[in-house]
Amino acid sequence: MLQVIQTLLGPEGCPWDQEQTPESLCDYLVEETFELVSAIRSGDLQEVLEEMGDVIFLLAFISCLYGDKVSLGQAMQHAARKMTRRHPHVFGETDINSREELTRTWERVKKTEKKHAGGYLLDSVPRSLPPLLLAYRLHSKAAKAGFTWDSLHELEDKLTEEWLEWKNALESKDHDKMLEEFGDYLFTLVEYGRRNQIKASSALSKTNIKFARRIHMMEDLAREKGWDISRLDMDHLEELWQEAKGF
């Protein structure tokens, strides 16, 4: 792979590749990572293999563009050392007897690794994460500092409160207020899922895939019946939907 990249970047290589920088490849890296995630969730192993290769290729490409400053070998050695430090119960002599203790140890070691002491609680959460994943990470970080609802019952009450605030905003027809309150409700719902060991982004991804599969099936069923799905009324669409759910 490195030989291929060096050839692309060499005198007889590709003009497009030669124009790239680590910064210009960031969007491609994000895109390929999402494609890898999609392949993993689809369960298609051949697709996983291909998309994993694309991500690794981009990481290698970025490494080559940095020259001697950054290498994949250095990155992997750094990650290995970091994971060894963060698992003292595996690589050291620390005894850990609960998941909560494991999490506290992980966070304590991470804190000692920070270059600048005295940072803020949420500094380590990348703001460029997809919104649902970012909300999950923000809640998780805040909860580790004790800033979360004491019980699921209290959280359910908060969900009801946020829903009523959304309904009031909806009645007001104030778009900015609607946007804010709908966001507040989603943010609280993400925490409710997290407290029940559910990641909202993963749950929604599964539902998206299921919905798309059923719509595809509805189209197939409509063609079998000689129907034009774009011209059907809701009763016929519901009939197709119920049939598709059976597959």
| Chain segment 183-198, per-residue pLDDT in tens | 999 999 999 999 999 9
Whole-number pLDDT of residue 244: 95
Length of the chain: 247
Instruction: Kindly state the average pLDDT of the residues 101-125.
Output: 75
Mean pLDDT, rounded, of the chain: 92
Residue 53 confidence class, pLDDT cut points 50, 70, 90: very high
How large is the average pLDDT for residues 7-11?
95
**Of 171, 124, 181, 121, the residue nearest 189 (C-alpha):** 181
The pLDDT of 227-241, averaged and rounded, is 95
As a whole number of Å, the CA-based R_g of the chain is 24
Return the pLDDT at 115: 59
Lowest mean per-residue pLDDT among 104-108, 115-119, 127-131: 115-119
CB-based contacts of 118-125 (< 8 A; 24+ apart in sequence):
121/145
Dihedral over Cα of 74, 76, 81, 82: its sign = positive
Kindly state the average pLDDT of the residues 171-179: 96
Query: Does the pLDDT at position 233 exceed 70?
Result: yes
Average pLDDT (4-14) is 95
User: Residue 163: CA atoms inside 13 Å, Cβ hemisphere, count?
Assistant: 7
Q: Mind giving me the DSSP string for the chain?
A: -HHHHHHHHSTTS-HHHHH--TTTTHHHHHHHHHHHHHHHHHT-HHHHHHHHHHHHHHHHHHHHHHGGG--HHHHHHHHHHHHHHH-HHHHSS----SHHHHHHHHHHHHHHH-SSTT--TTTTS-TTS-HHHHHHHHHHHHHHTT-S-SSHHHHHHHHHHHHHHHHHHHHHT-HHHHHHHHHHHHHHHHHHHHHTT--HHHHHHHHHHHHHHHHHHHHHHHHHTT--GGG--HHHHHHHHHHHHT-
pLDDT of residue 118: 56
Residue 120 has a pLDDT of 79
Share of the chain above pLDDT 70, in %: 98
Amino acid at 44: D
Comparing 85-89, 196-200, 217-221, the range with the smallest average pLDDT is 85-89
**Cα–Cα distance, 166 to 151 (Å, whole number):** 23
Tokens representing 24?
Answer: 């210009």
Tokens of residue 96, six digits: 């850990």
What is residue 42's predicted lDDT score, i.e. its pLDDT?
87
Percent of the chain with pLDDT over 90: 74
